[in-house]
Structure 1
Amino acid sequence: MNTSSRFAFAVHVLALLSLQEGVPLSSELIAGSVNTNPALIRRLLTMLADAGLTTAQLGAGGGALLARPAQDITLLDIYRAVDDAQLFALHREEPNPACMVGRNIQDVLRGIISEAQQAMEASLAGRTLADATADVVKAERQRERKRRQAG
């Protein structure tokens, strides 16, 4: 029972790219910020490029760039680019059909999970990468203010 971190990593990567304002970033630099392996970042960048969210500048000084403005990329776009799984999964094996709960729980859960998935996707569709990046900048300013007040 694993939870994917691809969405969180993808938002991190794209926020980093959006703050660089057109300066291409290498997978090594991005991996340093995410604190992960550059190969994982390259795989993630491929998924994001396939979805039209990033592009690559080749050659010396090359790297990843946003393919379109941050305000035009919803968090749902990012989620769909990197995560094809449903919010929750059902049983891997069919429950016991001789049990009242076992024979009915899958249908009950399908409805509940569908509603939860729709709510999550609606929430992500209402926020952009620019919103998330602005929140990062705001959090950093608050952190700096607290640091100055404490020092």
Structure 2
Amino acid sequence: MMNNLRFATALHILVLADKFKNEIITSDFIAGSINVNPVVVRREIKFLKEAGFIDSKKGKEGGCFLIKNANDILLGDVYKLVNQENVFGKMNHTNPECPIGKAMNQNLETLFSNTENQLIKTLNNQTLRQFSDQFQ
């Protein structure tokens, strides 16, 4: 799944887990809300579980549930979890003989890194609780 979809999917799962915090919710239920295949949901649940945000129960009565307080989950932490690669993509194979080309990737790396750091800083100003409270 593309990284930009993973963040939205992870947040969707977490909001549902928060809204149904006293229940175990199935990957089928979550997939129906997101409108994706349950396999996609189970893949993201694995990452969220490894990060300690949710836990899951296998079997017929299985599903997932929130184990970390929504006030303690920062959106920037969720973003970093699902975006292990630079969100802007890969660099070009530039011409080392060109005065622009030989310095382009270094300058792009700085630009991308600074921009992503600002994004994470902005996301870390909001908790899952604050985001979840926008939904009825």
TM-score, with structure 2 as normaliser: 0.91
Runs of 4+ in 1 over 6 A off after TM superposition: none
Deviations 1:121-145 (A, max 9, x none): 10111111111111223xxxxxxxx
Match of residue 101 from structure 2: 102
Q: Distance in 1 between matches of 2:56 and 2:134?
A: 26
Shift of 1:104: 1.1
What does 1:1-151 correspond to in 2, within 5 Å? 4-92=4-92, 94-137=93-136
Shift of 1:90: 3.7
Q: Distance in 2 between matches of 1:43 and 1:3?
A: 13
Name the structure where helix makes up a greater proportion of residues: 1
Deviations 1:93-139 (A, max 9, x none): x20112221111111111111110110110111111111111223xx
Amino acid at match of 1:103: K
Residues 90 and 109 of structure 1 are in contact (CA less than 8 Å); yes or no, is this contact kept in structure 2? no
Amino acid at match of 1:17: A
Alpha-carbon RMSD: 1.5
Shift of 1:59: 4.3
TM-score, with structure 1 as normaliser: 0.82
Query: Could you say which structure has the larger radius of gyration?
Result: 1
| Larger RCO, structures 1/2 (Cα 8 Å, 6+ apart) | 2
Q: Distance in 2 between matches of 1:38 and 1:90?
A: 29
The alignment-based identity, stated in percent, is: 30
Amino acid at match of 1:118: N
Residues 73 and 129 of structure 1 are in contact (CA less than 8 Å); yes or no, is this contact kept in structure 2? yes
Q: 1:131 to 1:113 in 2, by over 3 A?
A: same
